[in-house]
Structure formats: structure tokens, C-alpha cells
């Protein structure tokens, strides 16, 4: 049983007065259904669960009336052993993207106030998924949160790392003192495994149970196949699912290009590298599909590394990272996991380590930015840290950070006071550069 941070968010939502229905977005197989059912069963007298993908007949409940008493009558008539007690009942609408009318009903459940409602969906962010109902989202009547794969702290919990050890890591980072050698060695090894395993719950549980990376690789590739089954999928006017074959081809082309895009020296995403005859508009929409679904994140180049970062980004210059490092590694050839664990990777290790740090920032809900100049000057990430614009360099080993020091030393052109070097090494403060090990990246959000 995996401990997830989102559980505390659900408790906070439950204890909020006059709360809105909750919508949880996230990748397929990220654990949404499991955690919502667990939360509901542990905190409510009555739980009613509707899965609109598995039981399509349930969609018709919402076709005729949004009067809450009518809806409750229909729900209890269609679900065996359903018991509804006002103020003690929670309704779970799973795969709600397949029943747009159910999502539209959230406005009326909120106004009624007698029942708590949680919706989950894996394709909720896709523009045009259901063209007939895309304008039916009850704006202002729902609260939306995102669920992502396990971050490294959750992975540590799953691997039995005590909270006392994690608390000590927080102290070490706050006081800029080294982590104890034995702890540092243990967590460095665990982080390398995390790069390979990633944070998909089924994969993590298999790793905890067996330690077999061949088993986890098979699961990861099955997950990737299931994602591709969703590419280009839409909901017809009659609520039947269909696949736009042209859109599917474009999404597949973009998706499969990600490993090679990150292999380039500056890693900038280039549509021209995908297919000579492909139309850029089709590829741009395909990239948006992958981003909206939560499979990838975009990291935008900055015209200048200054706050506000969003105001200085270049919309047309960006890198693309996978949101789960384990799935990214699974897209590479067999043997890559062993190379990561044994430190045998050469040039491509930079792409893998950049992806895991981008993954970590994404799980903090941080937007991603970087800085690149044609002269060759490049900073992997730029973020806000302790209220200031901060440069972040990611090193797979402990090599020098030429671009980082160049910008920090150039006070005539840049107004940057601090940088962070994420590396294969212990905590060390070197003037205005804070060096931290890869496994401490999850703590940047707290400081």
C-alpha cells in the first residue's frame, strides 16, 4: 500500500466548508481511482462509485435532468446496494471525460450541497476530446487538482526510508551541511533506481515486491502501449469513442521522437526532425495533445534570465521532457537501466538526468524554463528560489558548470545572484552556488 501526498489534499478538501466538487486530473494508471476509493471508504459512511468507461449504461442517468433528487433516484436504481444519506455520502465519477453531462451536473450538486462529489479522468485536459460538450464544463463550480506519479519522497517512503532520515535531509539542506556518508550512498543508489523505475504505482509496487527491473520494464512498456491506445481518441456526439487516424499518426510521430530530440546538443525540440513531409500545424496540435494529457512537459527558453520568468519566455523555443522518468527510460533500448545503475552512460546521460530533474520540478507544479544562447551558453533550468531568479545546472557526475559560473560572474549583462548545481556529490556551498545531490531536488520547493 503506497502512501501518497494527495491523500492529505483530499482530507483538506473534505474539511472545507461549502466545498466545490473535486476534479482530479492525471495520467492513466497514476493511481487516481485507488486513492479516491481508499479516501472515500475511510472517511464516509456511504460511497457510490460510477465508472463511465467500464459501465457505459450509467451515462444515460445524466441525459434528462440535473435535478439532484432525480439524479439520486436514477443512480440508486442503477447501482445495486447503493445507499444515500444526505451529508454522509460521497459520489465518485470515474473516467468522467466519457460522460460530459456528469461533469456538467457538478454545478447542481454544488448548489444543492447535500452530497460530496469527486471526479477522476485521464483525458480531461484534451482540447476537442468531446467537441459537442467541450463548453459544458461548469466553470466556477469545481475544484481541480492534478495527480502525478510518485515523487522521490514518496518513493523513499515506499522503500522504507524512515521519516527521521528525511527530516535530517531537510536540516542538512537548510544548514548547508553534508549528509552522512552512509545515508548519502544509500540514497544515491536509490535515486538511480528511481530514475529507472519512475513513479507509476503499479511499477513501484512490482519493484518493491521483486526488485526485478526486467519485470518493471515490461510493465512500463505496457503502460506506454496503453497511452498510445488513447492517442487521437475522441467522443462522438452519441458518446461512442472513435480514433482520428490522422491525428493518431501525428501524435505517435511526435511521441516517438522525444528520445532523439533530447539527444541533440542543445536539446531544443524541432518539428523538422520528425518527418520531412509532415505539416507543422498537425505536429503542433499533436504536441499539445501530449502536453494536455500530462505525458510530457515543455521547458521554455528565456530571452533573458530575469523575473518574471513567464514574461520572458520564448513561445517558439522549448525542450520537451517526459513526465515520468521510468517511462522515458523504458522508451530507450534494453540495457539502459543497467547502464544507469552502473554509471556506464556516456553523452546521453545528460538527457536522462535532465529529464529526471524536469520530472521533479513538474511534480512540484513548477513551470519549466531554461536559457540558451547561440554562442553556446546554456543553463539547464531557471527557477525562482528563495524569491530570486536562480540558475540550475544538472550534472550526471560532478563536472564543471562553465555556463553557470560565466553568467554569475558577468554582472554587466546579467543580474543573477545565485545558482544551484545538482550533481553526483554531497551538499556544499561554494560562494553563491549551492551544490546538492540529485536525490535532494524534491526539497527545493520547500525553500
Residues 221 and 334: beta-carbon distance below 8 Å: no
The answer as to whether 269 is a domain residue is no
Asked if the model's pLDDT at residue 433 lies above 70, the reply is yes
Distances, alpha carbon 104 to alpha carbons 18, 126, 136, 140, 372, in Å: 19, 17, 6, 12, 44
Of the listed ranges 137-146, 162-171, 186-195, the one predicted with least confidence: 137-146
Domain hosting 351: range is 152-230+294-446
The answer to whether residue 176 is domain-embedded is yes
Co-location of 173 and 58 in the same domain: no
Residue 270 lies in a domain: no
Of 119, 147, 175, which residue sits at a domain end?
A: 147
Per-residue model confidence (pLDDT) at position 133: 55
> For the packed helices 32-43 and 6-14, what is the interaxial angle rounded to 10 degrees?
40
Percent of the chain past pLDDT 90, that is, above it, reads 82
Give the DSSP per-residue string, 167-228.
HHHHHHHHHT-PPPHHHHHHHHHHHHHHHHH-S-HHHHHHHHHH--HHHHHHHHHHHHHHHH
Digit-coded pLDDT (tens) for 249-292:
999 999 999 999 999 888 999 998 897 666 789 999 999 999 99
Please report the pLDDT score of residue 294 as a whole number: 92
Give the pLDDT score at 41.
97
Mean pLDDT score across all residues of the chain: 93
- Please, what sign has the CA dihedral across residues 158, 162, 167, 172? negative
Using CA atoms, how far apart are residues 198 and 215, in angstroms rounded to an integer? 13
Quick one: 47 and 80 in the same domain?
A: yes
What span, in angstroms and rounded, lies between the C-alpha atoms of 331 and 147? 22
14 burial (CB, 10 Å; 0-12 / 13-18 / 19+) is middle
Instruction: Tally the domains of the chain.
Output: 2
pLDDT above 90: residue 139? no
Region of residue 26 (phi > 0: left; psi between -120 and 50: alpha; otherwise: beta): left
**How far apart are the C-alpha atoms of 224 and 18, rounded to whole Å?**
39
Q: Sign of the CA dihedral 153, 158, 164, 169?
A: negative
Report, as an integer, the average pLDDT of 76-103.
94
Strand segments (E) across 19-147 = 22-26, 46-51, 89-94, 116-121, 143-147
Residue 427 is predicted with a pLDDT of 98
| pLDDT number for residue 447 | 67
H or E stretch covering 255: helix 245-261
* Contact status, residue 285 vs residue 247, Cβ threshold 8 Å: yes
List beta partners, residue 394: 422
Section 210-218 average pLDDT: 96
Q: What is the largest CA-CA distance in the chain?
A: 73
Residue 346 pLDDT: 75
Identify whether 424 is part of a domain.
Answer: yes
Whether 391 is covered by a domain: the verdict is yes
* Whether residues 323 and 428 fall in one domain: yes
Please check whether residues 368 and 411 belong to one and the same domain: yes
305 touches 391 (CB < 8 A): yes
pLDDT at 446: 72
Judge residue 15's burial from the number of C-beta atoms within 10 Å of its C-beta, 0-12 exposed, 13-18 middle, 19 or more buried: exposed
Q: Is residue 283 part of a domain?
A: no
Overall average pLDDT of the 158-162 stretch = 98
Q: Is the pLDDT of residue 227 over 60?
A: yes
Q: What pLDDT is attached to residue 128?
A: 67
Any idea what the CATH number is for the domain that residue 74 is in? Answer: 3.40.50.300
147 three-class SS: strand
Residue 236 lies in a domain: no
What is the tens place of the pLDDT at every residue in 392-417?
Answer: 999 988 778 889 999 999 999 999 99
Do 203 and 63 belong to one domain? no
Q: Which of 147, 171, 187 is the last residue of a domain?
A: 147
pLDDT (tens digit per residue) in 59-86: 999 999 999 999 999 999 999 889 899 9
Residue 1: DSSP 8-state: -
Q: Is the peptide bond before 308 cis (omega within 30 degrees of 0)?
A: yes
Same structural domain for residues 143 and 183? no
d(CA 171, CA 365): 23
Rg over CA atoms, the chain? 23
Q: Are residues 73 and 176 in the same domain?
A: no
Same-domain check for residues 94 and 206: no
Look at residue 269 in the predicted model and tell me its pLDDT: 95
Domain final residue pick, 116, 147, 178: 147
CB 275 within 8 A of CB 252: no
CA distances from 385 to 87, 174, 179 (A): 43, 13, 21
Q: Please indicate, yes or no, if residue 46 is contained in any of the structural domains.
A: yes
pLDDT of residue 132: 57
Tell me: do 106 and 187 sit in the same domain: no
Query: 21 with 97, same domain?
Result: yes
Strands 46-51 and 433-437 turn out to be: unpaired
Q: What pTM does this model have? A: 0.94
Residues 129 and 226 occupy one common structural domain: no
> 191 and 113 in one domain?
no
What single DSSP character describes residue 385? E
Amino acid at each position: 500500500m503506497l502512501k501518497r501526498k494527495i491523500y492529505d489534499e483530499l482530507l483538506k478538501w473534505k474539511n472545507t466548508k461549502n466545498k466545490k466538487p473535486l476534479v482530479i486530473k492525471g495520467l492513466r494508471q497514476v493511481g487516481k481511482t485507488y486513492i479516491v476509493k481508499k479516501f472515500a471508504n475511510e472517511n464516509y459512511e456511504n460511497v457510490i462509485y460510477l465508472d463511465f468507461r467500464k459501465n457505459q449504461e450509467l451515462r444515460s442517468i445524466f441525459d434528462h435532468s440535473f435535478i439532484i433528487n432525480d439524479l439520486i433516484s436514477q443512480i440508486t436504481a442503477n447501482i445495486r446496494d447503493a445507499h444515500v444519506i444526505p451529508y454522509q455520502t460521497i459520489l465518485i465519477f470515474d473516467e468522467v471525460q466519457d460522460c460530459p453531462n456528469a461533469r456538467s451536473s457538478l454545478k447542481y450538486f454544488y448548489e444543492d450541497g447535500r452530497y460530496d462529489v469527486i471526479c477522476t479522468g485521464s483525458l480531461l485536459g484534451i482540447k476537442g476530446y468531446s467537441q459537442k460538450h467541450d463548453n459544458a464544463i461548469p466553470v466556477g463550480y469545481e475544484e481541480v487538482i492534478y495527480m502525478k506519479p510518485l515523487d522521490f519522497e514518496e518513493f523513499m517512503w515506499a522503500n522504507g526510508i524512515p521519516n527521521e532520515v528525511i527530516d535530517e535531509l531537510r536540516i542538512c539542506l537548510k544548514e548547508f551541511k553534508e549528509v552522512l556518508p552512509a545515508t548519502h550512498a544509500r540514497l544515491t543508489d536509490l535515486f538511480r533506481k528511481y530514475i529507472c523505475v519512475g513513479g507509476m504505482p503499479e511499477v513501484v509496487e512490482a519493484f518493491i515486491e521483486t526488485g526485478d527491473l526486467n519485470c518493471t520494464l515490461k510493465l512500463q512498456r505496457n503502460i506506454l502501449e496503453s497511452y498510445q491506445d488513447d492517442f487521437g481518441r475522441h467522443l462522438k456526439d452519441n458518446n461512442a469513442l472513435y480514433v482520428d487516424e490522422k491525428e493518431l499518426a501525428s501524435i505517435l510521430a511526435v511521441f516517438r521522437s522525444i528520445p532523439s530530440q533530447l539527444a541533440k546538443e542543445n536539446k531544443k525540440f524541432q518539428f523538422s526532425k520528425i518527418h520531412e513531409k509532415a505539416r507543422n500545424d498537425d505536429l503542433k496540435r499533436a504536441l499539445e495533445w501530449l502536453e494536455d494529457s500530462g505525458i510530457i512537459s515543455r521547458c521554455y527558453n528565456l530571452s533573458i534570465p530575469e523575473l518574471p520568468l513567464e514574461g520572458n519566455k520564448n513561445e517558439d523555443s522549448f525542450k520537451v521532457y517526459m513526465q515520468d522518468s521510468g517511462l522515458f527510460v523504458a522508451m530507450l533500448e534494453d540495457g539502459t537501466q543497467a547502464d544507469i545503475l552502473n554509471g556506464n552512460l556516456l553523452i546521453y546521460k545528460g538527457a536522462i538526468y535532465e529529464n529526471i530533474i524536469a520530472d521533479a520540478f513538474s511534480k512540484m507544479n513548477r513551470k519549466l524554463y531554461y536559457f540558451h544562447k547561440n554562442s553556446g551558453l546554456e543553463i539547464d533550468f531557471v527557477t525562482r528560489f528563495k524569491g530570486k531568479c536562480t540558475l540550475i545546472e544538472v550534472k550526471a557526475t560532478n563536472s564543471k558548470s562553465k555556463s553557470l559560473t560565466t553568467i554569475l560572474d558577468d554582472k554587466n549583462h546579467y543580474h543573477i545572484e545565485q545558482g544551484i548545481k545538482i550533481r553526483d556529490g554531497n551538499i556544499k556551498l561554494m560562494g553563491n552556488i549551492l551544490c546538492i545531490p540529485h536525490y535532494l531536488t524534491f526539497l527545493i520547493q520547500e525553500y
